[in-house]
Amino acid sequence: MASHPSPLLEQAPLSEQVALITGAGRGIGRAIALRLAQAGAKTTLAARTEQELQATARSIQDTGGEAFAVPTDLQQDEQVTTLVEKTLARYKRIDILVNNAGGGPPRTPIVKSRLADWESVLRVNLFAAMSLTKHVLPAMIERRHGAIIMLGSTASLSGRAGEAAYAASKFGLRGFTHALFEEVRRYGIKVSLLCPGSVDTALIPYNKRLNRDKLLSPNDVAEAACNIAISSPRACPAEVILQSQFEPFT
Ligand SMILES: NC(=O)c1ccc[n+]([C@@H]2O[C@H](COP(=O)([O-])OP(=O)(O)OC[C@H]3O[C@@H](n4cnc5c(N)ncnc54)[C@H](OP(=O)(O)O)[C@@H]3O)[C@@H](O)[C@H]2O)c1
C-alpha cells in the first residue's frame, strides 16, 4: 500500500524515481536499497530469501519510504522477466537498476572445481545482470533517462588463485558494462561499474588474520552507489574503484 511521502522525501534527490535492486535481502544490496530509499527512490527488492527481503522492506517503510519485495531466483530466466513486469505494473517505470546479487563458491583450485558451481556463479553474477539490463533498457532509451549500476569488484580487475570462476564472472561483467556504456551514453543513461575491495558481509569468510573493522562497510558501498545515481547529468562515474582506507590483514 502506497504511503504518503514525508516532506523530507519530497525534497530528496531521487524522489520521483524507481530503483530495482537485486540481492537486496542482506549485505551490500540491502544497504544500497536503504540508501536509495533514503534519497527518495521507490524501491523493488529482489533476492531468493523472502524473509530477508521483507526485513529490508520493513526498514525502508519504517522511515517513510516505499518498498516492494519480489522473491526472485535470478538463475531462472522466467523469474527475471516476472521481476521486471511486476515492477512496471506497480510503479510504471524503472529509473535505476542495481545489478548487485552475486556470490561465489568457497575458494577452490580450478582442477577441484565443480562445473555446476561455475555455471551458477556465471548465471547469477553475469548472465542475470545482462538479462535484467536488456529487459529494462527499452523503456530507459525511450525516456532518455536511467542509471544502471553493476556490482563489479576488485576481482573485475585482477584474478586471485582459487577464485577463477568469480573472476571470470566479474571480468565479464566489466566487459559488458563498458560496451553497454558506449551503446547507451547518447540516450542520457548512466552506466557504472562499482568495484569495491573486500566488504564486511557474509560473503567474506572468517579469517583469523583479518580485522573486519578495517574492511569497507556495506554502507560505504551504498554511499558510492547513491553518488552515481545522483551524479550530474553531464558526468558519468563509469568505473569506480572503492578501497578501504585501512589495511585489514595483519
Ligand atoms: N563482500 C565483498 O567483499 C564484495 C566485494 C566486491 C564485490 N562484491 C559483490 O557485491 C555483491 C553483493 O555481495 P554481498 O557481499 O552483499 O553478498 P551477500 O551478503 O551474500 O548478499 C548477496 C545477495 O545476493 C542474493 N542472491 C544470491 N544468489 C541469488 C540468486 N540466485 N537470485 C537472487 N538473488 C541472489 C542473496 O540473496 P538470496 O541468497 O536470498 O537469494 C543476497 O541478497 C555481489 O555481486 C558481490 O560479488 C562483494
- Ligand 1 atom nearest to 52, measured from its CA: 40
For ligand 1, the distance from its centroid to the CA atom of residue 16, given in whole angstroms, is: 27
For ligand 1, the distance from its centroid to the CA atom of residue 201, given in whole angstroms, is: 9
| The pLDDT of residue 250 | 84
In this predicted model, what pLDDT tens digit does every residue of 23-77 receive, in sequence order? 999 999 999 999 999 999 999 999 999 999 999 999 999 999 999 999 999 999 9
For ligand 1, the distance from its centroid to the CA atom of residue 219, given in whole angstroms, is: 15
* Whether the CB of 203 sits within 6 Å of ligand 1: yes
Domains and CATH numbers, the chain: 7-242 (3.40.50.720)
Strand partners, 18: 42
In this predicted model, what pLDDT tens digit does every residue of 228-240 receive, in sequence order? 999 999 999 999 9
| The pLDDT of residue 7 | 52
* Whether the CB of 198 sits within 6 Å of ligand 1: yes
* Whether the CB of 14 sits within 6 Å of ligand 1: no
- Ligand 1 atom nearest to 103, measured from its CA: 47
Confidence at 3, pLDDT banded by 50, 70, 90: low
Q: Which of 8-12, 212-216, 217-221, 229-233 has the lowest mean pLDDT?
A: 8-12
| The pLDDT of residue 6 | 55
Atom 1 (ligand 1) nearest CA: 199
Confidence at 85, pLDDT banded by 50, 70, 90: very high
* Whether the CB of 174 sits within 6 Å of ligand 1: no
- Ligand 1 atom nearest to 166, measured from its CA: 47
* Separation in Å, CA 96 to CA 2, 37, 126: 19, 12, 18
Residue 209 burial by Cβ neighbours in a 10 Å radius (0-12, 13-18, 19+) = exposed
> Quick one: average pLDDT of 200-226?
96
For ligand 1, the distance from its centroid to the CA atom of residue 142, given in whole angstroms, is: 30
Neighbours of 66 (CB within 10 A): 21
Dihedral pair phi/psi, residue 223, rounded to 5°: -65, -45
By C-alpha distance, which of 50, 63, 65, 56 is closest to 17?
A: 65
Q: Is it the case that residue 2 has pLDDT exceeding 70?
A: no
- Ligand 1 atom nearest to 30, measured from its CA: 43
Residue 74 burial by Cβ neighbours in a 10 Å radius (0-12, 13-18, 19+) = buried
Rg (CA), the chain: 17
Residue 11 burial by Cβ neighbours in a 10 Å radius (0-12, 13-18, 19+) = exposed
Confidence at 5, pLDDT banded by 50, 70, 90: low
Q: Which residues are catalytic?
A: 166
* Whether the CB of 25 sits within 6 Å of ligand 1: yes
In this predicted model, what pLDDT tens digit does every residue of 100-158 receive, in sequence order? 999 999 999 999 999 999 999 999 999 999 999 999 999 999 999 999 999 999 999 99
| CA–CA separation, 28 and 12 (whole Å) | 22
* Whether the CB of 201 sits within 6 Å of ligand 1: yes
* Whether the CB of 240 sits within 6 Å of ligand 1: no
* Separation in Å, CA 32 to CA 161, 178, 206, 249: 29, 22, 24, 26
For ligand 1, the distance from its centroid to the CA atom of residue 110, given in whole angstroms, is: 22
Between strands 96-99 and 18-22, the pairing is parallel
